Amino acid sequence: MKLAFVSDFHLGFNEDALEQARAGLRKAREVADAIICPGDLFDTRVPKQEVLHDSIKLFSEFQGCNAVKVSLIGSDGTTPTFNAPLAIYGNHDRRAKGLSNPLHLLDSAQLALNFHTKKILLEKDGERVVIQGLGGLPDSMAKEALKLVDFKPEKNAFNVFVFHQSVYEVAPVDETFLSINDLPAGFDLYVDGHIHWPNQVNQGGKMLLLPGSTVVTQLKEKESEGKGFYLYDTLAKTFEFIKIKTRPFYFKQLQFTNASISQVEEQVRKEVGHFASISAKPPLIKLKLRGTLSNGLPASSVDLSGVEREFADKAVLSIDKEFDGASDLKEKIEFLRKLQSEKKSVRELGAEILRQKMSSTNSMIKGREEQFFELLAEAKIDEALKEL
């Protein structure tokens, strides 16, 4: 049996979310016997009505998508059948106990089957696959929830455990995160949503797949490697990552050494122009600027708003300026101490600071900073503008 794990649609996040969720589900229907969604179908707990409307239309398209018999193994012995994508909720679309979340609405309309803490039986040609799931919980509660529910695999079946949590071996940020060792024993496959880039971990006899999201939300470097889903073959016990068509996302780090503001701007414009030129659709571009600026200039002195306006209709641009500020701060302190020791007036200090700021630029007032500052100090704005 071939299972498609398509996760983290984040419907409502932006215009790409709906389009790329549809692309993932359509491709999954082509190649898989059943579609399983490990959480965060929606980006918020209470989506706008427009988002719900689009989501209902989306999931209506995939009624009857499974090429297997899908049954809910009930505690009362009944096994009602369904034919829609199987899903759990994630941390984004989770609501407090007793409140309906958006997945509950899809489940009530039989557009998606919510299998949180349930057992789902898939049958085809004599093969049995049992899927169990745990929706997204606060990380501090996940370990206790696993103990309370006490998930156990079914006999004479291929068993899959699906959840939506941070995993310490994948993101070693907080020791309270679930560990692979905390996952219930005996399952043939473990699948986790939540992490937004594809990954797989085989540890302690447990095979863990993380299909990632279908939409870029975090602009992290790993998200630039492509979006898609995992297709798992339960007989061969093999898997492959199948990419889907998405908005292009480019990530690049630019390193500078004692660069002037004009040099930084020129390089940023060059990189953005290149990525925009090779994309049929305005791409997502994330640039990280690193290194040092000339003459102790702080990162705040780099104004790239002109570049952003220039490419406003050609790219979705995000820029992080993380220039080394240690030497900058030291130089600033020394400069201010020097000014203080000279006991200059406020106007003299202002003109000196302006002169220092302008020293590394191609400013039109270079050499005339004191006169320019005097005009500003006296509120002679028209004359100051003429100087420019």
pLDDT digits (tens, 9 = 90+) for 317-329: 999 998 886 444 5
Which pLDDT band holds residue 10 (cuts at 50, 70, 90)?
very high
Q: Which amino acid is at 7?
A: S
**Cα 37 from Cα 352, distance rounded (Å):** 62
286 with 222: CB under 8 angstroms? Answer: no
- Mean pLDDT (the chain) is 89
Q: What is the pTM for the complete model shown? A: 0.81
67 with 79: CB under 8 angstroms? Answer: no
Task: Tell me the mean pLDDT in the region 158-165.
Answer: 98
Q: Which residue has the higher pLDDT, 64 or 344?
A: 64
Which pLDDT band holds residue 298 (cuts at 50, 70, 90)?
confident
Pairing of strands 34-37, 69-72: unpaired
Q: What pLDDT score was predicted for residue 326? A: 43
Q: What pLDDT score was predicted for residue 347? A: 58
Task: Tell me the mean pLDDT in the region 351-375.
Answer: 61
Q: What is the dihedral of CA 175, 178, 179, 184, to 10 degrees?
A: 150
228 token code pair: 């898609």
**Cα 66 from Cα 124, distance rounded (Å):** 11
Residue 78 confidence (pLDDT) above 60: no
Q: What pLDDT score was predicted for residue 358? A: 59
33 with 86: CB under 8 angstroms? Answer: no
**Cα 260 from Cα 295, distance rounded (Å):** 8
Q: What pLDDT score was predicted for residue 288? A: 96
Residue 249 confidence (pLDDT) above 60: yes
In this predicted structure, which of 29-33, 62-66, 195-199, 242-246 has the lowest mean pLDDT?
A: 62-66
Q: What pLDDT score was predicted for residue 211? A: 98
pLDDT digit string, tens, across residues 96-132: 888 999 999 999 999 999 999 999 999 999 999 999 9
Task: Tell me the mean pLDDT in the region 271-293.
Answer: 95
Task: Tell me the mean pLDDT in the region 65-73.
Answer: 91
**Cα 333 from Cα 341, distance rounded (Å):** 12
**Cα 22 from Cα 340, distance rounded (Å):** 64
Nearest to 48 by CA among 18, 88, 19: 18
Indicate the burial class of 36 (C-beta count within 10 angstroms; 0-12, 13-18, 19 or more). buried
Percent of the chain whose predicted confidence (pLDDT) is above 70: 82
In this predicted structure, which of 22-31, 267-276, 373-382 has the lowest mean pLDDT?
A: 373-382
**Cα 85 from Cα 59, distance rounded (Å):** 8
**Cα 197 from Cα 220, distance rounded (Å):** 9
Q: What pLDDT score was predicted for residue 98? A: 87
Q: Which domains are seen in the chain, by residue range?
A: 2-243 (3.60.21.10), 249-325 (no CATH), 344-387 (no CATH)
**Cα 327 from Cα 191, distance rounded (Å):** 47
pLDDT digit string, tens, across residues 39-61: 999 999 999 999 999 999 999 99
> What residues contact residue 109 under an 8 Å CB cut-off, 6+ apart?
56
